[in-house]
């Protein structure tokens, strides 16, 4: 494939945008080469500015569960934009979206709309601290909750230590309010609570991890988190920005039957437009201004275009449960076909898949259940695989540690073509 226009566009972008991109993973540093610049998305396909077409497994990092340019969403946006793009004042559509979310997510009785997943998670931990009057939070190594200071924390020297800043600009004072545990290791959580329990405001966790590749919680892990937080009077926050409305119409919490105190949402609730939310019980949410003392505000929160897109998206997902069943079957078929091809090519791998999310790890391990398992995978082989698949017209997430997202528009043609291209690529790189 020719990428001359993308190369030129990247050169131009680097002169005025740090690294040439507005979000770091887009720069392709994890996989090598230059990023592709896109001009159009339709159903399961993307077209770049050179005219090349790709089957898309990024899906704008999750929200495109019904495919790119979903007609009801586009039509709703067209109708709404004629009335104006922003008011900075209440609209009835905000209430309609809130009512839809509450009707679908089991643990939410009230919800506040914000502008991004990062804003939702930052607000959620502020609310947890304000509600409990405690300062510490527990997060899990490898889980990503946006770029808020409290979340950019690297591992300390042991299970019972505070984290250390993972980025310049994050102060030690902020890092000293974040404790790190290991996902799928309940003992690491228990040890933290035994030492700091009365000071811990909340645990924040991706119920299914999507940001060190897909990692599925082991049996009773989430239930144990729920039990520990109740025992110590802390709150449990599920970051469902990625999994909310993707794994089911009620999110991961409905699948696992574990219900948090606060849930953060994003991606799908905007139908591709920038919007996010956090919600919980009326008792907890009533601590937010203007009712309570925990302050949070946003000029563009509840933007009418984003809200309208989200309403159309959630209506479809609420009223047609067969969507999840079909996408899940297609994703399972894709993951099993790729695993079979890897085995046939003599390439050891693990594929973690749940619903419409999956990650291929090139690894000698028999399972990938923890952060340590994930980082032990062969990232160089993934980079080679990524570039070969890209040249074959398959656009994968440009990082080993991201989820593939499958949409309702990935039909037999797209899945079979992906399986075929995967087999060709694996034969080429088998000896690498």
Catalytic residues: 144, 239, 267
| Three-state DSSP class for residue 240 | strand
Query: Which DSSP string corresponds to 260-307?
Result: -SEEEE-GGGGTTSS-EEEEE-HHHHTTBTTTSSB----TTTT-HHHH
CA distance 314 to 318: 6
Q: Minimal CA–CA distance to 184: which of 204, 208, 156?
A: 208
Instruction: Report the run of H or E that residue 202 belongs to, with start and end.
Output: strand 200-205
User: Mapped to the 3 state alphabet, what secondary structure does 59-93 carry?
Assistant: HHHCCCCCCECCHHHHHHHHHHHCCCCCCCCCCHH
What are the distances in angstroms from CA 427 to CA 198, 264, 332, 358?
Answer: 56, 42, 22, 22
Given a contact cutoff of 8 angstroms between Cβ atoms, the answer to whether 266 and 278 are in contact is no
């Amino acid at each position: 494939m020719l990428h001359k226009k993308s190369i030129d566009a990247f050169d131009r972008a680097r002169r005025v945008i740090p690294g040439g991109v507005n979000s770091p993973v887009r720069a392709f540093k994890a996989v090598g080469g230059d990023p592709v610049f896109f001009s159009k998305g339709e159903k399961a396909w993307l077209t770049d500015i050179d005219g090349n077409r790709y089957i898309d497994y990024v899906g704008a990092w999750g929200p495109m569960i019904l495919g790119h340019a979903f007609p009801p969403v586009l039509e709703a946006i067209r109708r709404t934009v004629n009335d104006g793009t922003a008011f900075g004042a209440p609209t009835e559509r905000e209430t309609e979206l809130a009512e839809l979310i509450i009707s679908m997510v089991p643990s939410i009785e009230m919800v506040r709309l914000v502008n991004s997943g990062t804003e939702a998670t930052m607000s959620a931990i502020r609310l947890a601290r304000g509600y409990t009057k405690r300062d510490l939070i527990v997060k899990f190594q490898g889980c990503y909750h946006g770029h808020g200071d409290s979340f950019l924390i690297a591992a300390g020297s042991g299970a019972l230590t505070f984290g250390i800043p993972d980025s310049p600009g994050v102060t030690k004072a902020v890092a000293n309010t974040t404790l790190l545990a290991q996902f799928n290791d309940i003992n690491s959580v228990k040890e933290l609570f035994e030492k700091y329990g009365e000071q811990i405001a909340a645990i924040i966790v991706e119920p299914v991890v999507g940001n060190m590749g897909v990692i599925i919680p082991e049996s009773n892990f989430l239930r144990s988190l729920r039990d520990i937080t109740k025992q110590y009077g802390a709150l449990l926050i599920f970051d469902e920005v990625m999994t909310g409305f993707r794994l089911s119409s009620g999110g991961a919490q409905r699948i696992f039957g574990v219900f948090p105190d606060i849930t953060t949402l994003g991606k799908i609730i905007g139908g591709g437009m920038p919007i996010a939310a956090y919600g919980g019980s009326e008792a907890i949410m009533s601590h937010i201004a203007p009712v309570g003392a925990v302050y949070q505000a946003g000029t563009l929160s509840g933007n009418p275009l984003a809200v309208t897109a989200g309403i159309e998206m959630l209506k479809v997902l609420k009223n047609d449960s067969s969507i999840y069943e079909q996408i899940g079957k297609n994703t399972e078929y894709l993951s099993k076909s790729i695993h079979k091809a890897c085995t046939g090519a003599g390439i050891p791998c693990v594929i973690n898949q749940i619903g419409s999310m999956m990650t291929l790890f090139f690894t000698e391990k028999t399972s990938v259940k923890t952060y340590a398992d994930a980082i032990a995978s062969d990232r160089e082989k993934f980079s080679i695989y990524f570039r070969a698949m890209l040249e074959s017209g398959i656009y994968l997430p440009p990082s080993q540690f991201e989820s593939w997202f499958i949409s309702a528009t990935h039909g037999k043609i797209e899945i079979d073509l992906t399986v075929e291209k995967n087999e060709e690529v694996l034969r080429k790189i088998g000896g690498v």
